Structure formats: C-alpha cells, structure tokens
Amino acid sequence: MNSSSSTNQALTPVPESDRVFGWHEHASLWFSLGVGLLVMQVGAYLVPSVGTRDAAIAIICGSIIGAGLLAWVARTGCRSGLSSAGLIHRTYGSHFARLPVILNIVQLLGWTTFEMVIMREGTTAIANQAFGLELSGTLGVIVITLFWGAILLALLAGSMIKLVRKLIARFALPLVILSLLWLSWQFLVLLNEQGLSAVWDRPGNGQMGLFSAMDLVIAMPISWLPLVADYARHGRSTKGALGGTWLGYAIANIWCYSLGVIIVSVAEPDAGLVNALLLAQGGLVALGLIMIDELDNAYGDLYSGSVSTHSLLPKWSIKRWGMTLAVISMVFATVLPIHTLEPFLLMLSSVFVPLYGVILGRHGIGTGAIADNRKRADWSAATIWILGIVCYHSVGHWAPGLGSALPTLAFTFLLAFGTRSAATRITS
C-alpha cells in the first residue's frame, strides 16, 4: 500500500465497529442491483438463439454460478474490510494496481452512461405512450438526461449506508418486487393462452450453444465483480455477505432473464421490450418503477467509481468524486453514441474476469486477515492476469461453444492459488 493509505478511505479497511450491513441489507442491495431492463433484453435475446428449454437451463445454472462468484468476492471484501481498489492493490502491488483501477473507472463511467441512456429511452417511451409527448429530439435528450442526472447527484450527496438501509431495503425493494410480480402475472397469462408446451418446445436457430448462452447469463453478475467489495466491506459477517449477495442476486437474475424470455415468447415479432411492457395491463406503472430501480444501478456504478478514483487521488473525498463522475456521465450520455460503445464495454469486462480470478486465487480462500502487499508490482500476479486475458479471447475464438468466463476463471484461479507466497498462505 502507498504512503497515503493512512488517509485513503479506499485503501484502508473498514473497522469492524463501523460495519452495519447484515444479511438483509446485502440481499436487498443485490436483488435491487440485479433487476434491470438490460437483463430482460439479454434474456429476450436467448430464446431465438438457443430455444426456450436451453434458455431456461442456461438462466438457472448461469445465475447460480455467476451469483456465487459475486458472493465469493463479497465474502473476501467483507473478510478484509477492503474495497475493490484495496483488494487490487494487495494482490498486484501499489504501482501496478493503478492500471486495473483506471480500467475499472473507465468501465464504470461507461456503464453509468449506458444506464442513463436506458433510463432516458424508457422515459421517452413512457412520455410518448402515456401523454403523447415526443421527447426524442435534442432538447428532449438534454432535459431527460439532466433530470436523471440531478437525481443521481442528490443521491450521491447523501450517505451510501443510509441509502442501502433505508431507501433500498425498506421502500424501493418492495415496490420493485410488486412490479415484477405484476408483469410476470400479465405475461404468464398470455403465455398460457398461447400454449405452454408449444413455447417450451420452441427450438433455437443455432446461433449459440448452451454453454455460450450460460456464458451470456454469467456475464451480468460478473460485470459487478469490480464493485461488490465496495459494499461488502461494510458487512458485519462473512456469512451474511456471502449468503445475502448470492441469494439476492441469483433470484433477481433468474427472474429478470426469465421475464425477458417470456416477453419475447408472447410479444409481437417487431415489438421492442419497452413497448411490449407498456402494452401490458398496468405496464406503464410497472415499467416506471423498474425505471426508478435503474437508478440504483447507475448509483452503484458511480459510487464504486468514486471509491476507485479516491484510491488514486485521495485529496478529494469519495462523495466529491462521485458527484464529479456523475456530471461526466451526464455529458457522455448526451453526446456519445452509447449503443455503438456496448461492444467496447463488453470487451473491457473481459479484463475483469481474469483480474478477479487472480484475486480469488490469492485471497479468496481462508479466514484470516489479508496481508499488506508492499511490492510496487507483483509480477507473478500481473503475468497471470495478462495470460488470463489471452485465455479469455482465445477460448472465445477457438472454442466459442465452451464460453469464455468459466474456463478463464478456473485457469487464473488455479495459477494464482498455486503461486501464492508463503506469507499469503499463512495469512489466508
């Protein structure tokens, strides 16, 4: 750790006396973060590719595995009291760690911008459907972006702890569950009218195999790996962090992916996901609540991005960095063709699968404290990470049917675990 770590909140473990999250808070937070229109859209993409039966298998297995990996990192963050940036520093060395931390900040800015675009497009659809307003022009884009950005700024000005314990756990979560229940009922009725067996037996077009579909499902929880420790470090127990994160996210992921599958199975061929939701009875209210829930996804990205930025530049507080990154995201959401940037964001995500494979290999097993890494660069960890990136893309190119995430995680974990130093073995 560098010399500024004594005043660096991101690199200093949270004292046990300040940890307030129990099982319920972890589960509420990660259920809420697991709900999103983007998840439903990916679920809708699975059916024509692999068919309904294989899509269901991929969703259940991929969600359990992906959420389990997320929970494993949560346990490691809770056990150590370290943020994601702190775990990266202690694994890769104080100087080399700056590279993955900067990449994490870039991807978090990108995903926040993407979330803001999704909220803007949903707002535009709701305004058009409910009030006949056309807000897709330049002025409409600016006004709606500023509206959601202002709400994010207000949330970032407050306490993350209070937001999770009071707003999400007590109010937002019940409303989101009710909206999902309502939408599920509406589309299950339509599904039943079309015939369950006919939909269940619908074949895919062969664009994707079962393991590739599972890889796509796992991609969602894995995209949260660089964030989970920033929240889990505030947990009171490792069991609560592990169990709450795993159960909360797995249920949300399975539900939203499945809802996407159901919607695409019963909707008109040319209807988009948002329009299909709006056409359902009560869909306007339900979609509005899900749109509001998208806020916590954007907030989660910004808060974690601010923790990572603070780890590099600790003179500014986490709160100040969060509000700064929110303004930058508002500008990006207004001027960038964000949908064309999605492949770039997904490519960046491939960097973090091996990154956390190494972290779990070095520190994911054990109950003791995680030793400080006083090296400027841990070259064995760095080399395994780079080899992992090569592995991820090589598997995707040469054996796409296997999926890239799980082989890469296994490869980097085993190498990192086998090359742990004696000090790491003792403290872990």
Dump pLDDT digits (tens) for 241-263: 999 999 999 999 999 999 988 88
> Which pLDDT score is estimated for 4?
41
The token duo for 340 is 């064309």
Q: Which long-range contacts (CB under 8 A, 24 or more apart) does 122-127 make?
A: 122/37, 122/274, 122/287, 122/291, 122/294, 123/147, 123/148, 123/291, 125/274, 125/275, 125/278, 126/278, 126/284, 126/287, 126/288, 126/291
The token duo for 273 is 């996901």
Residue with the bigger pLDDT between 138 and 108: it is 108
> Which pLDDT score is estimated for 239?
96
pTM tops 0.75: yes
d(CA 412, CA 397) in angstroms, rounded, equals: 18
d(CA 190, CA 109) in angstroms, rounded, equals: 39
| Average pLDDT, integer, range 60-77 | 95
pLDDT at 235 over 90: yes
Is 325:305 a contact under the CB 8 Å cutoff? yes
For 136-145, how does the pLDDT look when each residue is reduced to its tens digit (9 = 90+)?
A: 778 888 999 9
DSSP string, 42-64: HHHHHHHHHBHHHHHHHHHHHHH
pLDDT at 165 over 80: yes
Residues in Cβ contact with 18 at an 8 Å cutoff, skipping those fewer than 6 apart: 234
Beta-bridge partner residues of 235: 21
Q: Assign 5 a pLDDT band (cuts: 50, 70, 90).
A: very low
d(CA 206, CA 54) in angstroms, rounded, equals: 11
> Which pLDDT score is estimated for 264?
82
pLDDT at 159 over 50: yes
Query: Side chain identity at 132, as an amino acid letter?
Result: G
Mean pLDDT estimate for the chain: 86
Q: What Rg value do the Cα atoms of the chain yield, rounded?
A: 21
* Residue position matching structure tokens 């209807």: 271
For 297-346, how does the pLDDT look when each residue is reduced to its tens digit (9 = 90+)?
A: 899 999 999 999 999 999 999 999 999 999 999 999 998 766 665 566 56
> Which pLDDT score is estimated for 338?
61
Q: Assign 191 a pLDDT band (cuts: 50, 70, 90).
A: confident
d(CA 350, CA 354) in angstroms, rounded, equals: 8
| Average pLDDT, integer, range 176-193 | 87
For 335-376, how does the pLDDT look when each residue is reduced to its tens digit (9 = 90+)?
A: 876 666 556 656 777 899 999 999 999 999 877 668 777 788
> Which pLDDT score is estimated for 271?
64
Is 74:242 a contact under the CB 8 Å cutoff? yes
Rounded to 5 degrees, φ, ψ at 303 are -65, -45
Is 276:263 a contact under the CB 8 Å cutoff? yes
| Average pLDDT, integer, range 141-157 | 92
Greatest Cα-to-Cα distance within the chain, rounded to the nearest angstrom? 67
Domains and CATH numbers, the chain: 20-339 (1.10.4160.10)
Q: Assign 2 a pLDDT band (cuts: 50, 70, 90).
A: very low
> Which pLDDT score is estimated for 379?
93
| Average pLDDT, integer, range 144-157 | 93
